[in-house]
Chains A and B, each alone.
Chain A
Amino acid sequence: MKLFGQSLRATIFLVFVCGILYPVAVTAVGKLFFSGQANGTLVRGSNGQIVGSTLIAQGFKDPKYFHPRPSAAMTPDGSAAQPYDAAFSSASNLGPDNSAQIKAMTDAATAYRLENHLLPSALVPIDAVTASGSGLDPDISLANAYLQAPRIAEVRHINPDRVKALIKENTSKPQMGFLGTSRINVLRLNLALDKQP
């Protein structure tokens, strides 16, 4: 009985300290020093309207924008696909020997080539035909971006070299020189595109 009393007190104490006090303290200090990040690394448009977060992919479909990687985001019970829905992060969870998945990737590669006017023999970067782990991957590989550049230039009627220069400007190198990969943040690149005259 004494043990039960002690355990009950401990539970209440720990719920308060670990469940409430600790997150509150982190929030207070975090917001004080890193307010932008603490609120979700949001990006605001010229009118002050939130246009998204550089950390979260947007489902660009318009040919004038760079397209992100495929998204397999879906509702928690898997009943409905919700690609790029930031409220439902998910991967495809399909295995490498799943014939449906093999077919989907093959089809996606063909579609990618069509959309970007590539030769049927042109190799498609694998990140362009595979769904990301979160369904909200904000980045694409350099190869993926460079292959989309001619299409962007054509639709926007700007010099392809200008687009390539923008890609270069918006390339994130590996962090600290060696962590992670070189990559392009799609939202940032598209924002930069929109700023073009």
Chain B
Amino acid sequence: MIANDWIQIFFSLTMVVLISPLVGRYLAWIYQSHHLSLERTVYRLLNVDPEKEMTWKEYGGAIVVSNGLFFVAGFLVLWAQAILPLNPRHLSPLTAEVAFNTAASFVTNTNWQAYAGEAQLSNFSQMVAITFLMFVGANTGIAALVAIFRGFTRSGSATLGNYWSDFFRFLIRAFLPACFLMALVHVWQGSPQTFQTAVSSKTLEGASQTLIVGPVASLESVKNLGTNGGGFYNANGAHPYENPTPLTNTLEFLEMGVFTFSLPFFFGRMIGRPRQGQVLFIVIFSLYLAGLGVIEYSEKMPNPLLAHAAIEQQATPFQDGGNTEGKEVRLGITQTSLFSNTTIAATTGAVDGAMDSMNPLSVLVYLVHMFLNEEPGGKGVGFAGLLKEAILAVFLAGLMVGRTPEFLGKKIESREIKLSALSLLVTPLLVLGLTALSVVIPAGKSSMDNPGPHGFMEVLYAFASGNANNGSAMAGLNVSTPYYAILIGVEMILSRFLPLLPLLAMAGALAKKKTLPETSGTFKTDTSLFVVLLLGFMILFAALTFLPPLILGPLLEHLSILHGVSF
């Protein structure tokens, strides 16, 4: 690695560490202060009473019904694109299954894309379906997370707060303003922002070229700030219009991290134990750092299979080198590693290089990040998953100190374990089950773009991404077929709501419990020991669940490359 790589990494990590606590504090203020008059106006407009407390069932019901309508709105726009305005190119509507897949994908904050944006969506669809769903999907996650937090902040309470109030506070005080501001920065750096769609040009060699433009910048900021990840263009963040400069690349992955890495601090403030927040941050940041290290190493590694082709793969003063397949020259290996590690850890799913052409060890990291899906996790739900893992780890550890385990003053009993375990089952069942099905039946196999373990990884990656509500893809896999469009669409909805509702129920049960005072017999969860315990538990658990496919996928590919075996 050259000095510049270290500087870029150090700079980016420092930014994350500096910004996150401040944003966490701001988020806590948002949820611990009174309504703004603007918010009251909105509540009046929507005919909701922001003071009405909801039980976990009412809260969950509000999430399901409102998201159901968001989904329908998005689906209708995509499906009826041909008759809607702002479509001078007369693009045909998406097929019903791809429209379903897309609406499901964006409402669940996954942003899996079974379509190519610039070729298939009108500017109206990009705004009213895509940008809209990006806002509400992310916002729902934050609201759900706040409700889950209240399971810990409240004592002897039957309710978890008001969904609408939780939804609009974040939107009005943080999300919309931040998106607006960053959108302008993206315009400044070169992202188009216009209602035009196609610009014809004549190249220097006299050929005609059609440049596709549109409201890109406004989509770009919410794509990243909302850890959404669905690009305006098919190439996503690799496209020079979405990510014109190294600065926008850095800003984009910082945007992804700004709300997600602040969640532990937010949590710590909400429960009145800032130290607990710091400890949880250390847990997710350690996983993030470890992932970054492996990716950077793996992508800089020369490919032994190219040894005889007389290709310069190393970094020299005149080139960045490394695995440049699917990467952009302006970004280089380090910017791409930082971006891809963040996009997976934060379950954004935006990419600034082709995941399908990454080296196997990098893909291993992506897969493990997605299997963990709680560091720092997508808007809200990922962090809730971390709390779930913490509860299970504390349960085992708590037994080992000789008391009924407690987490943050709440006794962990059979109901919590039941709900956590239920939520825990979803990932292995969906990812392993759907992958197993798709790698044997022709409908699944025919979509693969690469042979051997790499093809296997494409399918595994697709279902892991859908399950983690990540949305990135090893895009060689053709997922616009009805088989994948419907299967992944259903998977995304199940993966979003099946773990979420048990966690809400658990929060409901926790809120009812008394918060117990700490004694010297209580296992403290704001210590380095807890960091080790939780990390150990998470890694052990993910390894035990996913070791077989990881061996037959990335590890087999890595060892094959080292042994000079290609497929």
Query: Is A in direct contact with B (CB under 8 Å) within the complex?
Result: yes
Contacts A10-B69, A51-B202, A126-B321 aside, 17 further interface pairs with beta carbons under 8 A come to A11-B73, A18-B176, A52-B204, A86-B210, A87-B118, A90-B235, A91-B357, A92-B326, A97-B566, A97-B567, A106-B306, A124-B310, A131-B325, A138-B240, A143-B319, A179-B8, A180-B332
A97 touches B61 (CB 8 A): no
Kindly provide the distance from the CB of A114 to the nearest chain B CB, expressed in whole angstroms: 13
Instruction: Give chain A residues whose Cβ lies under 8 Å from the Cβ of B484.
Output: none
What 0/1 readout, one digit per residue, does chain B (335-371) give for beta carbons within 8 Å of chain A? 1000000000000000111101111100000000000
B196 at the binding interface (Cβ < 8 Å): yes
Q: Kindly provide the distance from the CB of A73 to the nearest chain B CB, expressed in whole angstroms.
A: 8
- Can you list 15 A-B contacts with CB-CB less than 8 angstroms, sorted by A residue number? A52-B203, A58-B204, A59-B205, A93-B354, A95-B557, A105-B309, A123-B310, A125-B312, A130-B325, A131-B325, A132-B327, A133-B353, A134-B233, A139-B330, A142-B318
In the bound complex, do residue A27 and residue B194 qualify as a contact, i.e. CB atoms below 8 Å apart? yes
When chains A and B are docked, how far (Å) is the Cα of A59 from the Cα of B557? 33
- Known contacts A31-B193, A52-B203: A127-B233 contact under CB 8 Å: no
In the bound assembly, the distance between CA atoms of A11 and B74 in angstroms comes to 10
Q: Which A residues are CB-close (under 8 A) to B426? A: none
Kindly state whether residue B565 has any CB partner on chain A within 8 Å: yes
Query: How far is B330's CA from A85's CA once the two chains are assembled, in angstroms?
Result: 20
Q: Is B383 an interface residue (CB 8 A)?
A: no
A18-32 at interface with B (beta carbon < 8 Å)? 18-20, 22-23, 25-27, 29-31
Q: Which residues of A contact B474 (CB under 8 A)?
A: 93
Q: Which residues of A contact B335 (CB under 8 A)?
A: 179-180
The reply on B65 being an interface residue by CB < 8 A is: yes
Number of B residues, CB within 8 Å of A: 133
* Chain A: minimal CB distance from B292 (Å): 16
* Smallest beta-carbon distance B50→chain A, Å: 11
CB-CB under 8 A for A179 and B66, given A109-B309, A134-B240: no
Write the chain A residue with the least CB distance to B195: A27
- For residue A178, give the distance in angstroms from its CB to the closest CB of chain B: 5
B286 at the interface (CB under 8 A from A): no
C-alpha gap A101/B332 in the complex (Å) = 21
Q: Which residues of the partner chain A approach B188 to less than 8 Å between Cβ atoms?
A: 33-34, 37
Of all A-B residue pairs in the complex, the 4 with the closest CB atoms, nearest first, are A180-B246, A133-B238, A93-B476, A91-B354
**Chain B positions 219-263 with a Cβ under 8 Å from a chain A Cβ:** 219, 222, 233-235, 238-241, 244-247, 249-250
Contact of A88 among B116, B131, B565 (CB under 8 A): B116
For residue A37, which residues in chain B have a CB less than 8 angstroms away from its CB? 187-193
From A25, A89, A120, A180, B180 is in contact (CB under 8 Å) with: A25
B238 CB to closest chain A CB (Å) equals: 3
C-alpha spacing A69/B329, complex, angstroms:
9
Chain B residues contacting A86 (CB-CB under 8 Å) are: 209-212
With a cutoff of 8 Å between Cβ atoms, the chain A residues found around residue B240 in the complex are 55-57, 134, 136-138
> Which residues from chain A contact B478 at a C-beta distance below 8 Å?
77-78
B234–A90 CB distance below 8 A? yes
Q: Quick one: given A3-B65, A51-B203, are A120 and B310 in contact (CB under 8 Å)? A: yes
Cβ B241 vs Cβ A40 within 8 A: yes
- A19 contacts B192, CB within 8 Å? no
Cβ contact within 8 Å between A6 and B203: no
Q: Are B356 and A38 in contact (CB under 8 A)?
A: no
A14 in the interface (beta carbon within 8 A): yes
Docked pose: A123 CA to B312 CA in angstroms: 5
Q: Are A39 and B330 in contact (CB under 8 A)?
A: no
In-complex Cβ contact of A39 among B11, B176, B213, B327 (8 A): B213
Interface flag for A196 (CB, 8 Å): no
Q: Which of B196, B480, B567 contacts A98 (CB 8 A)?
A: B567
Chain A residues, Cβ within 8 Å of B191 = 37
What residues of chain A lie closer than 8 Å to B196, measured between beta carbons?
A: 39
A21 to B353, CA, bound (A): 31
- Tell me, in angstroms, the Cα distance from A126 to B317 when the chains sit together: 14
A residues contacting B by CB (< 8 A) are 3-11, 13-15, 17-20, 22-23, 25-27, 29-31, 33-34, 37-42, 45, 49-53, 55-62, 65, 69, 75-78, 84-99, 101-102, 105-106, 109, 113, 120-127, 129-144, 146, 172, 174-176, 178-181, 183, 187, 190-191, 194
- Find chain B residues with CB under 8 A from A6 CB: 46-48, 62, 66, 164
B195 near A123: Cβ-Cβ < 8 Å = no
When A42-B199, A55-B190 are in contact, do A88 and B204 touch as well, CB less than 8 Å?
A: no
Question: Is B179 in the interface zone, CB < 8 Å from A?
Answer: yes
| Bound form: Cα–Cα A113–B356 in Å | 28
Contact check, A132 vs B328: say whether CB atoms are below 8 A apart.
yes
A20 touches B330 (CB 8 A): no
Shortest distance between the CB of B143 and any CB in chain A (Å): 12
Pick from B115, B136, B560, B561 the residue with the most CB of A within 10 Å.
B136
Q: Are B480 and A76 in contact (CB under 8 A)?
A: yes
In the complex, residue of chain B having the shortest beta-carbon distance to the beta carbon of A179: B246
Q: Is the CB of A14 within 8 A of B204?
A: no
Q: In the complex the two chains form, is B234's CB within 8 Å of A178's CB?
A: no
Give A174 to B62 CA distance when docked, in angstroms.
49
Task: Quote the shortest CB–CB distance from B479 to chain A (angstroms).
Answer: 11
Q: Does B183 contact A (CB under 8 A)?
A: yes
Contact among B69, B244, B313 with A11 in the assembled complex (CB-CB below 8 Å):
B69
State how many angstroms separate the Cβ of A143 from the closest Cβ of chain B. Answer: 4
B311-A123 in contact (CB<8A) = yes
Q: Mark B34-71, 1 if CB is under 8 A from A, else 0.
A: 00000000100111100000000000011001101110
Q: For residue A185, which residue of chain B has the nearest CB?
A: B330
**Is B449 in the interface zone, CB < 8 Å from A?**
yes
Stretch from B437-445, B450-458, B509-517, B518-526 that touches the partner: B450-458
- Is B200 among interface residues, defined by CB-CB distance under 8 A? yes
- When the two chains form the complex, which single residue of A8, A75, A178 contacts B4, counting CB atoms closer than 8 Å? A178
B193–A133 touching, CB < 8 Å = no
Contact partners of B198 in chain A: CB under 8 A: 87
Contact between A19 and B132, CB atoms less than 8 A apart: yes
* Closest chain A CB from B151 CB (angstroms): 22
